[in-house]
Homo-oligomer: A and B are copies of this chain.
């Protein structure tokens, strides 16, 4: 974990309101693993005040890439940065995906901009296993990185709410279909996307006894475990109340889906 000033090497508008930034940060990339994130200072003007967390989208020898969608002031300002501008970033942060080298096909399930960390994960996993990704989005323009996954030789399936690309439905529909017809049991599942999707994903994984890791989001302040602002409710049999609040920024953002208490 270090704090560095990283130059923006590349900026690309990958889809309407979606941007990819490649950052010059070799000292971060050398320690980074899929599922981790960086914490970005967007402005020195105190508006917005706090850093913004973004998953590591790609790890290269020169640095890292992030992929983000404009949802508010911070991401809007970030989208206005230009190639050559510098960003004050901290990373790599958090506990990423646990990657076990096993023979099974890995299934990645992405909702919207949830593909961001899954690309770094796919690049890692495909070195030793078959990877499939199921991408869900509201509509066709929100399906991002499709060609990039295909270029890695990864099988991509798509679901959109309006049926404008792939099946009409959501990513977890694709997952259920796949698991129902798949011969091999207990395929490892990796998910990232909005909370309601992750919840359904966890239930499906539970039903098929598949190990399932999901990357959570939470409003963050420090990003390093100091403020306790970003917790998730996690099962803890040793606690009298059977739960504890764990920090998404250091104990996650990737958690075992079975641990999460959804209410």
Contacts and interface: CB of A to CB of B under 8 A. Distances in A.
Interface of A: 45-47, 73
5 contacts: A45-B45, A45-B47, A45-B73, A46-B47, A47-B47
Contacts of A45: 45, 47, 73
Contacts of A47: 45-47
A73 B43 CA distance: 13
A45 B43 CA distance: 11
A47 B45 CA distance: 6
Nearest to A46: B47
A73 B45 CA distance: 9
A47 to B, nearest CB: 4
A8 to B, nearest CB: 17
A78 to B, nearest CB: 14
Contacts of A73: 45
A246 B39 CA distance: 50
Contacts of A46: 47
A73 B73 CA distance: 20
A45 B48 CA distance: 9
Tell which of A45, A46, A73 has the most Cβ of chain B within 10 Å.
A45
A45 B42 CA distance: 13
A45 B44 CA distance: 12
A65 to B, nearest CB: 27
